[in-house]
Chain A
Amino acid sequence: MSVDWLWWLQLGFLGYFLLLNGTYLLLNLLSMASLMGYMRRRAEAGEAAPYLGVEPPVSVLMPAFNEEATIRTSVRSMLQLQYPEFEVVVINDGSSDRTLALLIEEFELLPHPEPLRQAVPHQPVTAIYRSRRYANLRVVDKANGGKADALNAGINASRYGLFCGVDADSILQRDSLLRVVQPFLEDERTIAAGGTVRIANGSQVRGGFLIRAGLPRNWLARFQIVEYLRAFLFGRLGWSPLNAVLIISGAFGLFDRERVMAVGGYRTDTVGEDMELVVRLHRHHRKARIPYRIRYLPDPICWTECPEDLGTLGRQRSRWQRGLAESLGRHTRLAFSPRGGTPGWLAWPFMTLFEWLGPLIELAGYGFMLGGFALGAVSPAALALFLLVAIGMGILLSVNGLLLETLSFHVYSRRRDMLQLFLMAVLENFGYRQLNTLWRVRGLWQWFSRRKHHWGVMRRSGSWGQ
């Protein structure tokens, strides 16, 4: 009897991994079709970012908390974006370092008595500054309340109908705004659009812009390059044609301000405020039967600095997992609801089974198979096969991320870089991915135990600030 039970359990774990990676492969194929179509349209319309002269003005919101290492470069980079009309609103969320002082000094900020509308709630604003050098730069200084709270203050302070949330440790490609606004011009139902986030570690950054993409020396950062390619190029692109994108990265996303205000802005009691907002937008529009589109685009690129040490990376991943659990957990009513559409019937169940509960099942699978093998309950052949299926399919998925990259933008054009990334795609499945699973399980525990949340602390290299 117990032998039967063990046999079925082995089969169950094998089946789960097959289903997990098989579904990802399916999503991968969908993304490939979507990407090919997108690249064809891009080639048809010309490689250069289209400029019509009717682009709506955009408020770029940049929440910052203790960002003294990169804030000047990031703001300078934002001010040089290629876009007809935009403003940059930096929200200093009660930084305890010299973030505000550096901004005041670098951009010649002066206090500006500006009444803020209270469309969405946030912590009190201490002061608003306006730059003497750049007419389109304002800085909102406020009491600490977290990233979501800072973004809410930015929404209230913004003057234009579209706002673009960007991280203060990120830099946008010069034409990113022009590209990410395209869905709003092509389809009036568009309420949000997200771009691709890529790793800037190892790349050459000068004057706030990325000059040449390269690979970092740090192996953790290299693993993350492969991971980001996989997450963005097929994790999100596949959902976009189905109007089922549930995540628009907080590092770079464009939103219709009125629609966001209509749902109450960002929630401050979650660490995954970016995903939570998108899921809430889906739910609200579906419930009220308001036609809408939420899009993901592969070519507006935002470059970000990724953690290069295990501690920071682990905390980041736990936070992301916790955010995901909070976002999905809060909107269980979206799932399988009569008006749920593709987000409720496909994306939500998928994310729940493979992303929310996935780490637990994966950890249990690894534990059972390895423990079972140690105790003699699992045969060596079964263990080997389990690892082959779990790891082999993982490798194939990672390598497919590289294929999508080659088929599309070919950012890493050197042969040596591609070979190294291929090596990373293979190696990440031996240890790094399992470590990630552990961090994500820790995130689930933090979510379950309702641990207090705060801004993620990131150790910066500060190399951009030169």
Chain B
Amino acid sequence: MRCPAWLCEAPADLLAVLRPEDAILQLAFYCALALAGLTLLVLLQVLLLGELTRLRGRRRQAFNDHWRPYFALCSLSDELPEATAPRARNHRLWFLLQWNRTQLQLRGAAHERMNRALVALGMERRALDLLRGRVRARLIGLTCLRHLADPRHWEAVLPLLRNRNTSVALAAAQTLIAMDPARAMQTLLPLAAQRTDWALPRLTGLCLQAGAEAVTGPLLALLNLLDEPQRTRMAALLVYGDPRHAAPWARARLDEGAAAEALQIALRCLGELADPRDRTRLQRALAHAGTDVRLAALEALQRQARRDDSPLFVPLLADSNWAVRQAAADALAHLPGATPERLQHLLQEVDDRYGQDALRRAMVELKR
């Protein structure tokens, strides 16, 4: 069969007419042709991807529309509605994703009912299978197991705590904490000291999830074993521990005159505790050269401030640092028994112009 002239001969003729004689210009000419081809290919790709995204979105929407009423019934009633678990692999994944999303909005009995429904459908097994999959599958599986919070899954999740992928490791940590906070903190805190990819705000989140009781013991034990700089990094988490247990550590830091970062943490711990026996220590820290330390000491003292503590805070209105002056003014305005008249009287006693400004601002804010 012969190629039609319009398909084979005409383009070849056109190319021959357009092609320049010069070799370099010929090269540029072919580059331009290639560019035009590439541009068209990209356009096709854009359109194709758009269509695929729309199609996928519609399928997903239909799937969610099918299961949403089931989840609603599960969360409301103790009797599980009739259903068959999805069979297709991507449907199982969508199911677990939707289940995770629904669980995020539920608490108490409804949360428990949803857990029962998942187990009844045999999807708990699927969630465990996902732990052997790729990153996304693992994260979905870990989230499911976190909602289930069943200690029987401990051994399955534990290896993922050491996963190189930060998201997977942190998700595993959250799941372990959901199962048994005290045991989880004992396991993960030593690991957290080594893993610099676990940023401090993420560790703070884990500590908040575990609760003060679970954090303090293992953290204090760990601090004795660590060297700098890991020790200071991990010590920052003490603030989320039980201040009664952290107090001896904090007092020791203040007494030995530790580094400014450690002093701030110690002061925050003692501030939480608000033990009057620490007043002398806190007052001493008010004279520290570091602004942040003075500020932390002031805030700690404010938590246990008494009616007659104004002489403690008034000198700080003349502090060289803006933040300390404002905090001192706030402390004075919130002293027990502070009245507008008393504050007005105090204001007249303040010589420092910036201190007066700070106190005036705190007085106005108090009125609101």
Which A residues are closer than 8 A to B by beta carbons? 11, 14, 18, 40-41, 43-46, 48, 52-56, 112-115, 117, 119, 130, 184-188, 381-382, 385, 388-389, 392-393, 395-396, 399-400, 402-403, 406-407, 410, 413, 415, 418-419, 422
Given contacts A54-B208, A185-B202, contact A114 B53 (CB under 8 A): no
CB neighbours (8 Å) of A44 from chain B are 135-136, 139, 167
Interface 0/1 of B55-89, CB less than 8 Å to A: 00000000000000000000000000000000000
B46 touches A406 (CB 8 A): yes
Give the complex CA separation of A309 and B67 in angstroms: 50
Closest residue to B233 on the A side, CB-wise?
A188
A52 touches B46 (CB 8 A): no
Give the complex CA separation of A45 and B365 in angstroms: 41
CB neighbours (8 Å) of B322 from chain A are 115, 117, 119
Given A382-B25, A385-B20, 14 further pairs, Cβ under 8 A:
A40-B136, A52-B201, A54-B204, A185-B202, A188-B200, A381-B25, A385-B29, A388-B28, A388-B29, A389-B35, A395-B39, A396-B42, A413-B50, A415-B50
Give the complex CA separation of A41 and B171 in angstroms: 13
B10 on the A face (CB < 8 A): no
B208 touches A53 (CB 8 A): yes
Count of CB-CB pairs between chains A and B under 8 Å: 118
Closest residue to A415 on the B side, CB-wise?
B50
Which 7 A-B pairs rank lowest in CB-CB distance, beginning with the nearest? A117-B322, A115-B357, A388-B32, A392-B35, A381-B20, A185-B201, A52-B205
The answer, among A52, A413, A415, for a CB contact under 8 Å with B202, is A52
The answer, among B53, B166, B325, B357, for a CB contact under 8 Å with A113, is B357
Given contacts A41-B167, A113-B357, contact A385 B202 (CB under 8 A): no
Give the complex CA separation of A54 and B202 in angstroms: 8
CB neighbours (8 Å) of B54 from chain A are 413
B residues 19-57 touching A (CB-CB < 8 Å)? 20, 22, 24-25, 28-29, 31-32, 35-36, 38-39, 42-43, 45-47, 49-51, 53-54
CB neighbours (8 Å) of A187 from chain B are 199
CB neighbours (8 Å) of B300 from chain A are none
B192 to A: closest C-beta gap in Å: 14
Given contacts A400-B42, A403-B45, A406-B53, contact A388 B35 (CB under 8 A): yes
B333 to A: closest C-beta gap in Å: 13
B248 to A: closest C-beta gap in Å: 26
B354 on the A face (CB < 8 A): yes
Given contacts A11-B24, A403-B45, contact A115 B358 (CB under 8 A): yes
Give the complex CA separation of A113 and B35 in angstroms: 63
Closest residue to B36 on the A side, CB-wise?
A392
CB neighbours (8 Å) of A115 from chain B are 322, 325-326, 354, 357-358, 360-361
A45 touches B199 (CB 8 A): no
Give the complex CA separation of A422 and B322 in angstroms: 55
B358 touches A188 (CB 8 A): no
B3 on the A face (CB < 8 A): no
B28 touches A385 (CB 8 A): yes
CB neighbours (8 Å) of A389 from chain B are 28, 31-32, 35
For A53, A119, A396, A410, the residue with the greatest tally of chain B CB atoms inside 10 Å of its CB is A396
Given contacts A54-B205, A115-B358, A385-B25, contact A396 B35 (CB under 8 A): yes
Closest residue to A422 on the B side, CB-wise?
B43
CB neighbours (8 Å) of A117 from chain B are 322-323
B47 touches A415 (CB 8 A): yes
The answer, among B202, B354, B361, B365, for a CB contact under 8 Å with A186, is B202
CB neighbours (8 Å) of B15 from chain A are none
Closest residue to A382 on the B side, CB-wise?
B25
A84 to B: closest C-beta gap in Å: 12
B16 on the A face (CB < 8 A): no
Give the complex CA separation of A422 and B325 in angstroms: 58
Contacts A/B (CB < 8 Å), 13 sampled: A41-B167, A52-B205, A112-B365, A113-B364, A188-B200, A385-B25, A385-B32, A388-B28, A400-B42, A406-B50, A413-B53, A415-B51, A419-B47
B224 to A: closest C-beta gap in Å: 24
A407 touches B43 (CB 8 A): no
Give the complex CA separation of A385 and B46 in angstroms: 27
Give the complex CA separation of A188 and B208 in angstroms: 19
Give the complex CA separation of A54 and B199 in angstroms: 12
Closest residue to A394 on the B side, CB-wise?
B35
